[in-house]
Structure 1
Amino acid sequence: MVLNFTKIYNSIPVLPKRRDNLNKFSTYIMLTNQNNQLALQWKHQPSLQRNLKLYEEKHQEFSNLFCYQDKGIDIANFWRKVAFDESQSIADWEPSNKIQLAYEHLASYFEERCYWAAKDLCKERNANSWEEYLCIARLLVYNPIKLKEILVKYDSQSANIDTYITNTLTNHIKYSAEVNRFSRWRLLYKKSDKELIEALKVFGIIEPEISLIIFARKYFKQVYLINKIKNPTRITGKKWIAPDEKDFSKSAQCYNAEKILPTAPHEVFANFTKVTAKQIQDWMEICIKALESYPMSILPKFSLDALQLDGFEIKSELQVPEIEWEKISSTENTSEQGFLANQANSILSEQLQSMKLDERKILLLYYGFGLNQKQLADRLGMNQSTISRYLTKSTIKLLEAIARISQPQQWVKQYVRRWLESEYHAPVHSDLIQAALVSAIKKLVNEERKILQLYYGEGMDEVKIASQLDISLNEISTILTKTRNHLQEKLIQEINIWIKEYLEKWLINYYKYFTELVFKNEAKLGKNELKLEEKIFLVERYIQNQLY
């Protein structure tokens, strides 16, 4: 028994040493597989490296400590002071989220304490649990609120910070293990798709496998919830037990039944092979390894108010989509994209300059001041139908000008064919064009989707598809051609919508800039408070004087 324990304990991967202070305060532990054996390595966090170099350059006290490699404890105490800075004073050169970065530097430094606390506990406990112990410890140090609670109680007269943190982590791991608070399967169940995707990417998993794994976890969670978490025989508060073969088998059944539906992710449908219980189990294990490895993904949810009180920088996850000219161009060259954007600006400006004065005035009042058609008609003494015709005519002129640059009719056919042949398996959903194609494929009838999946997803030739589906070879060729043409038409329709959105945004920004320029000139003359009527009069005067 002793020999077996020693063998297990010695199998715990060795943690490589960190060479210098830069690494000690800017890296985190990464679990990897090398020759089918678990291994540990240090992964860099560029944002932390940049912050360390910034303080080394700008902060004399920090620079004096940083140049000595035996000053790790002193540097940790430096970041503790920064984290506890109640005044929230920020020097001109310091980042606005310096408190947040201070906690991240401390968490990085305490990674080694997490490892040794977990490993040393295995001497007196089950050595098979060291990964679980390590994850428990890391979850604690990467929670800034909990870490602050720990550091507040630290007394430098009693022990150095390394010893204090190690003892704290050891006690925390023991407590968590004894009361069964922690479970690898709970970690997998609780994390959001966004966190898991982030962790999988860092772990080295790429598309289309990421989409397959996320889809698999969806059904695993449903089965696990019913069979294990909500099982009447389970005592509330007890540790979440590991799933069994029946759970994985049922998850695989659900996965295979749902993967053919239009609601399934494109990557899942494109992968024709049925998954097995073993595949689901392997995927879930990969998820757990990824979540345990990547600290940004093991961060628990915490109160935004608490973070803000501690000076943390809160970033909204809501992003407003922007229609950019680059998204509707056929080129992939960055410099050419910039050229096209500039060309669009130039051509649209020229078109506006060439319009009649009445057309330009209507566009200005409509986009620059937000007047509706009725307000425009009343102001200009015209019928509303006339205003509508002016706006439509002007817009068509501008749309035609953009269309001469984008020329979708000339490149869409080739793009669709190339995309089907090379990127059908793993489309880039953040790319507007590829996302539009995926959306169009989901709306195809089942037979068309199936043929596309076999031809482009499985690489099956038309003869084999005809035989498998019991359809004539002629009909298969016809459906493939018809489907490709349909995708081309749908993409062109989407591009036309994007062009309209782009033009709308461009006109609003163009006239906003112009009116602000006019008002700025008036402000210089002492006219700061202007009513709407005065603003319109000033801009109209500019137009009349041909300064516009």
Structure 2
Amino acid sequence: MHPRQEITEMFSTFVELESGRFSKWLIDIKLRRSIQNCLESSQEVSNSENFWALYWYKHWQEQSHSLARMHLSAYLQEPSYWTAKKTIARFTHSQYSLADYFQMANAEIETILKNFNPEKSSSLKAYATMAIPSRLKDILRQRKEADICTNWALLRKVSKKQFLEALSQAGLSPTVIVQYRLAWTCFQELYVQNQPGGTKALSEPEGQLWEAIVNLYNSERQTQLTQPTPQCTREKIEHWLTQAAIYIRAYLYPPVSSLNLAISEDDATTTFDLPDPSSDSLIADMIAQEDTQNRQNQQFQIQDILLKAIQNIEVQSQEILKLYYQEGLTQPQIVQRLQMSQPTVSRRLIKARESLLKKLLEWSQETFNISVTSNLVKDMSTALEEWLKVKYGKSI
């Protein structure tokens, strides 16, 4: 296939699914005409896919150009499809179909573009191949938690950023949002997690607690709200919090339909005989090779960062780490060995882990341009624990 024809197809074709499997490629006529015009405008233009990916990314970044986004959406169809196919193979008893997962992955392309940094990753597709599965995994976690927990548990554990973004996405005005936020802040401050069955089973606040929340809100509104507002009732605050929980669920995981992605205007599409994206291709091989190299480089970077971080912590803390992970001593045994108090040993062990985890999280943020979430901290903590066991088992 001629290089320019291949570039045209990369940036103008979309996957169509049928009966839970790949059906065919669809060409968007408008996008094909757009990329052809660009290619024909100068014979000296590069035929490199990376060149055109960065070209459209720059247009999207500077102007949020809808045409540029559609070209990039077409370009990232393959990693979205592969992610969906791997996910459904992993969760064989899931309620979602391949089309559902594919749609979820496509919905994350805007976020992938926002987080992509061409100065740190030369290939948008290689970055998307790593980032889309991570985003989808996080979405499924959020959906599971949002589905099974009560409204009150959800309001307890949601972050301020998520809370505000959910309300903003729901279309609430800034004036209403600050009232919702104050009601939520009062609820969080007074609602103690003492319910049986863990946070997922948290029940609705009772009479005295509602009274305390209402009183706190009516007291705080005089200084926390910029505009004068009348006193609030229990019914009003309960309505706000219940409605906020609905908005948060919709924000954390929007409803999924099994409809294929709408990809054209005025049905300006035609079918095109291209390979199934799940089959081997030169592009797939190149991405796989680059991805493997990236993972190896990342492992070396993590190893170097953690070893340096260990060298920078206090000598006694290093000794405690060795005794705990290398010799397998318990904290009481370490107390006897080092003649230190139990609180000191516990504090130094926790502080050493936190110091290493902080370095690991900082590296993740700088490398992948991702924000620190509770799920990320949990995953990194588990990875750090495994790394410490392996490395001290080999005697650092």
Is the TM value for this pair above 0.5?
A: no
Structure showing greater relative contact order (alpha-carbon pairs closer than 8 Å, 6 or more residues apart): 2
TM-score of the superposed pair, with normalisation by structure 2: 0.35
TM-score of the superposed pair, with normalisation by structure 1: 0.27
